Structure 1
Amino acid sequence: MDAGTEIGWEPYEVALLGGGPRAAVTVAVVALHLLGAVEPGPRRTLCATGPEPEGLGPFEGTVLDCLREPLTARELVRHTDVRLALALARIPLAEEGLLRYPRLGPSRRARRRVAFWRERYPLPAVRHGLTDDRTLLAVALHGDAALRMLLPRFALRTGLADPGAPAEGVRFSLGRGRFLRWRDEYEDSVSGDWGAGHGDHGGSCGSGGGGGGD
């Protein structure tokens, strides 16, 4: 995917600079889901489905490899290989002056750039007609709010977003949300027929699905 081409960063790099490690992992999972490579698994896990898509980058490839066995969002973000991949992803950003030593938080320049792109690409008002690239960029820039708008069922079933979290601000809840108590009410709110666009993928592990589904 090349949603980050226009702004010069990969989508997971946008998320890493704007929301930190959890954000980067969230975007990698969404990218893999849109490619049909990751689906919800049993007991609210994530799992890889089918062969590795062509042209997959090393960061997304590491996340996909970790999901050959079902993992919860919390387990995924804590996985040793994912932590290593995040450390490696930070190196070129730090070399460009976008992360500050020693704690590797975003620099003022990085924060300004992310704020500029959030303003230029606000949260979409509707999900119909969005390309996968634009969907991925929206998640990278707007976090949970974009997940709830564009991929509500996938986000709920896998724990990527917390439907009970405050709506204001940019938040990435991967592995944090205590969302089960909102499940029935929230699933009722997204159970309608969405028509064309990102439909619902409810397949179990091992059943490949088409890219771009929710």
Structure 2
Amino acid sequence: MPLDMWWFTGAACVVLAAAAVLLRAGTPGPDATIAPGPQSVALLRGGRRAAVTVALVALQQRGVVTSGRRGTVRIDGWAAAVRDPLQLAVHTSLRRPAGIQVLLTVPRVQRALDGLRDQCAAQGLLRPRRRWHAARALLVAVPVTVLAGLMVTTGSPAATAAAAAPVAGAVALWFVPRQTPAARHLLASLREAHPLPGRPLRGSASVPRVQMSVALHGDRALLLHLPHFARDGGLLARGSRETGFMADGTSPGRGGAPSCGGGPG
């Protein structure tokens, strides 16, 4: 292997090691004294869309939003008693009927979701945002470094094979989830403690249980507890279409956009 290629391969390995350290370090241990709420649980399970879905469920249970036309949600009352940042952001973004995909583009909702993610990171359930993005940038730099070395040096089959090792390591680390092991353990324990019930939960005492059920079980819980609101409001992750208006009152597109799934995002 040419000497110059050793330098590029070594540099790629150093960058890979730095990314691995960032992914492993700087994550606080989980705080057992703080019980994550349904929106945090939904964020951990299904990403941003799932968290907004639970916020809409909470607002519907308060009687301040209801389903609108063609897969949208609209305001149905004043949210004077609402203090949760994400719920407030969602409610104030519904000046005109909108679907979940539109709500996810509203800056105030995005800021509330970022705050919820930072809260989960502070509780040791997500890897800290700055370290996460820095690690991802370093992982991208690994194949770039190797490619630059192959372009400016005399590559050989042996050199290419050796340089592939850090690239393979970067690909493997790319699929490390932002969730921490503590978050996966928390979700597993919550699913065990809150299985999907066999019949809808009713009554004021069941309000937090319905939200946690939706946070943990997604569409199945929506169809069980709030079937009409879920279908008419476009809350289901599959088989629904939504329309609505952007924050400036313009339509996001004729006929709406397909609702996307609630995967991590």
The residue correspondences of 1:130-209 to structure 2 (distance < 5 A) are 131-162=206-237, 164=239, 175-176=259-260
**Aligned-residue offset at 1:175:** 2.9
Give the 3 Å change call, closer, same or farther, for CA 68–135 of structure 1 in structure 2: same
Structure 1 residues 24 and 9: alpha-carbon distance in aligned structure 2, compared to 1, 3 A threshold: same
Aligned counterpart for 2:190 among listed residues 110, 113, 117: 117
Equivalent residue of 2:70, what SS? Answer: helix
By how many angstroms is 1:7 displaced? Answer: 7.2
Secondary structure at the counterpart of residue 127 of structure 1: coil
Q: What corresponds to 1:107 in structure 2?
A: 180
How far has the Cα of 1:138 moved from its partner?
0.4
With over 3 angstroms needed to count, the CA separation of the structure-2 counterparts of 1:163 and 1:149, relative to structure 1, is farther
The more displaced of 120-129 and 50-59 is: 50-59
Q: 1:164 to 1:48 in 2, by over 3 A?
A: closer
Q: Residue 88 of structure 1 is aligned with which of 103, 107, 115?
A: 115
Bigger radius of gyration among the two: 2
Tell me, in whole angstroms, the C-alpha distance in 2 between the residues paired with 1:175 and 1:77: 11
Greater relative contact order structure (CA < 8 Å, 6+ sep): 2
Higher helix share: 2
Change (3 A) 1:57 1:36: same
Secondary structure in structure 2 of the residue aligned to 1:47: strand
CA gap of 1:163–1:89, structure 2 versus 1, over 3 A, is closer
1:44 Cα deviation from its structure 2 partner: 2.2
Q: 1:129 to 1:34 in 2, by over 3 A?
A: closer
Aligned partner of 2:74 among 37, 47, 54: 47
The alignment partner of 2:236 has SS state of coil
Q: Secondary structure at the match of 2:50?
A: helix
Gaps of 5+ in 1: 1-5, 166-173, 178-214
Question: Distance between the aligned counterparts of 2:78 and 2:236, measured in 1?
Answer: 26
Percent identity between the two aligned chains: 39
Q: Provide the rounded CA distance (Å) in 1 between the counterparts of 2:213 and 2:93.
A: 25
- Runs of 4+ aligned residues of structure 1 deviating over 4 Å after TM superposition are 162-165
**Residues 71 and 13 (structure 1 numbering): CA distance in 2 closer, same or farther, change over 3 Å?**
same
- Conserved? CA contact 1:75–1:175, under 8 Å: no
**CA distance, structure 2, for counterparts of residue 164 and residue 144 of structure 1:** 11
Aligned pairs, number: 164
